[in-house]
Amino acid sequence: MRRNFGPRTVVKGVVIAALLIFTLFPAYWMISSSFDARASSGGQSLLPQEFTWDNYIFVFNEGRFGVFLRNSFVVAFFTVLISGILALLASVAVARFRFKFRTSVLILVLTVQMVPLEALVIPLFVQVRDLHMLNSLLGLVVVYLAFSLPFAIWMLRGFVAAVPVELEEAAYLDGASWGRMFRSVMLPLVAPGLVATSIFSFIVAWNEFIFAMTLLGGASDTYTVAIGLKQFFGLHSNDWGPVMAASTIITIPVMIFFVIVQRRLSGGLVSGAVKG
Amino acid sequence: MRTRPWLLLAPALILLGALLVWPLVRVFLFSLQDYGLREIVTGESNYIGFGNYAEIFANPMLWTVVLPNTIGFAVVAVSATVIFGTLVAMLMASLGTVWRTIVGSAIMVAWAMPAVTGTYVWIWIFDADQGLVNETLKSLGLMDESFNWFTNPFTFYAIVVLNIVHHGFPFVAITVLAGLLGVSKEMLEAAEMDGAGPIRRFFAIIFPTLKPVFSVVIILSTIWDFKVFAQIYLMPGGAGSNRDVLNLGVWSYVESFGQNRYGFGAAIAVLLTVLLLIITAIYVRTLFKEEKE
């Protein structure tokens, strides 16, 4: 389909170009600064001038970002695994069973998502300290489970509800128990939804800042990437090259996951949000 | 059969109860106490009634700095995010598959940027010494000396708005786009034949059809922008040293963990939670009303 190259097309082209520049510029600037030897000494221009890997080498050697990356992966992995299992069980309950207080449970799940983390940080700090889990990654995993669960339940609910009940009944007719049906019918069919919610939980755990800062405050060996970057920024606040290199390292896994999940994520958000 | 849903729900509910509901009760209990370093070490309680709340409401900081920052910022950021996101969605709806995919992927890049790294990139862009904005303005001759964008609360929040809009508009654009693609093409064409211009078509057909989508998007953005924390805390001066840029969340945090006034900070946090619960109540009501319709 070829269109006339009229003034409307030109205007639209300019608008799209402006939009793309605005959307992509911060990411471009981050990556280009991270490879530019001049970013730390000033005088960097829009295009990188001296290509270098030094910023990255510095980040891993002096910045100990290897440790922070490992910590973040450990925390994210256990958050994803446990919240996936718990959310799946809970979403089957709310999507498949009609029981007393079902609506109340749904409202609870929806409402707790709105609780500001700033309100939870004081009591959870005391609670985690009483359990002697300050400065431990396990304490952080437990807290992140609470943050990722409500949304995971809310989103998985839609995927579970989409599995035809007839398939379940067919399994029962074939003599399967509820557990067998769950494993052989339900689980494979909601697997795509499980992938989407896992990625969401991963991103929550990977990006979270205020609790990582509060609960891990004392021991930099247990820092996750988000607060590793903050400490790094404080030490070398004028060295923008390494700060941007570290930022790039943190951003890449999230971007990869976003690309994988983009369709499902937006679809899930819409159906989860609009269909109630 | 009766107990099965509760067995399935039990682990999740216990976790949410222990880590979200109980702490919420506790933050309220803390807010009624003079809870400082001694109490946090010994675990003793020290009830003083509503003293902390009285102190907050008597504090001119609340009325002249913190509330205007919190509410003003949320109003500006939510309107900017929703309007910009909607315009982008309408642009995307008018594009062919190839360009829609290109714009959609670019949007995903903005969305995927973690709040922490995104904030550092904006700080770097506006950095007082070598930042791109200052350098560009100087080389164009528009400015003689570097300007510190972070000391003035107005320019400080302008950068926060930029950061939040950049990070928040993709959600609005993608959600509204999904709704737009469901608007009946026949109706739009009929309206166009009847002589309705694009603005008229938007308010007469698109907006009413998309009303549920807009209410979700607006309320969720409002909730997110009310409790914005890292994007302010990480900015130069944002962690409490510049009192003029505090919002409710950061104020609560710096009073608690900076000054060891956990009771006072808890009371501020309760205030923020109550504000958000009111918005949430509206959200839940809208959702369930629409489900019934």
pTM of model > 0.80: yes
Provide the ipTM: 0.88
Q: Are A98 and A161 in contact (CB under 8 A)?
A: no
Question: Which residues lie below 8 Å from residue B181, measured CB to CB, with a gap of 6+?
Answer: B93
Mean pLDDT, rounded, for A201-223 = 88
The alpha carbon of residue B191 is apart from the nearest alpha carbon of chain A, in Å, by 21
A133 touches chain B (CB under 8 A): no
CATH number of A63-274: 1.10.3720.10
Q: Are A153 and A91 in contact (CB under 8 A)?
A: yes
CB contact under 8 A, B121 and A124: no
pLDDT on residue A268: 47
Give the best residue of A117, A121, A265, A275 to mutate against chain B (max B CB count within 10 A): A121
Instruction: Give CA A139 to chain center in angstroms.
Output: 18
Q: Distance between CA A116 and CA B276 in Å, rounded? A: 8
Is residue B3 exposed (0-12), middle (13-18) or buried (19+ Cβ within 10 Å)? exposed
Q: What are phi and psi of A36, to 5 degrees?
A: -100, 125
CA angle B24/B30/B34 to nearest 5° reads 165
Mean pLDDT, rounded, of chain A: 84
For residue B161, give both structure tokens.
């708005």
User: Per-residue pLDDT tens for B52-102?
Assistant: 999 999 999 999 999 999 999 999 999 999 999 999 999 998 888 889 888
Closest alpha carbon to A80 in A147, A132, A177: A147
Please list the residues that pair with B47 across neighbouring strands.
B33
Is residue B123 a part of any domain in this protein?
yes
CATH at residue B147:
1.10.3720.10
* Contacts with B88 from chain A: Cβ below 8 Å: 19
The mean-pLDDT minimum among A62-76, A237-251, B61-75, B83-97 falls in A237-251
Domain span holding position B196: 76-247
The alpha carbon of residue A67 is apart from the nearest alpha carbon of chain B, in Å, by 18
Q: Domain residues of chain A, as ranges?
A: 63-274
Number of CB pairs < 8 Å for A and B?
263
CB contact under 8 A, B280 and A150: no
Nearest residue of B to residue A153 by CA position? B12
Is residue B237 a part of any domain in this protein?
yes
Dump the DSSP string for A134-166.
TT-HHHHHHHHHHHHHHHHHHHHHHHHHTS-HH
User: Per-residue pLDDT tens for A77-122?
Assistant: 999 999 999 999 999 998 888 888 888 888 888 788 788 888 999 9
The beta-carbon neighbor of B120 closest among A143, A243, A257 is A243
A261 touches chain B (CB under 8 A): no
User: Per-residue pLDDT tens for B9-27?
Assistant: 999 999 999 999 999 999 9
Is residue B30 a part of any domain in this protein?
no
Give the best residue of A24, A115, A216 to mutate against chain B (max B CB count within 10 A): A115
For residue A135, give both structure tokens.
């400065």
Q: Distance between CA A265 and CA B58 in Å, rounded? A: 45
The alpha carbon of residue B232 is apart from the nearest alpha carbon of chain A, in Å, by 12
Q: Are A268 and A201 in contact (CB under 8 A)?
A: no
B137 has a pLDDT exceeding 60? yes
Based on the structure, what is the number of domains in chain B? 1
Is residue B98 a part of any domain in this protein?
yes
Is residue B261 a part of any domain in this protein?
no
Q: Which helix (H) or strand (E) holds A17?
A: helix A7-34
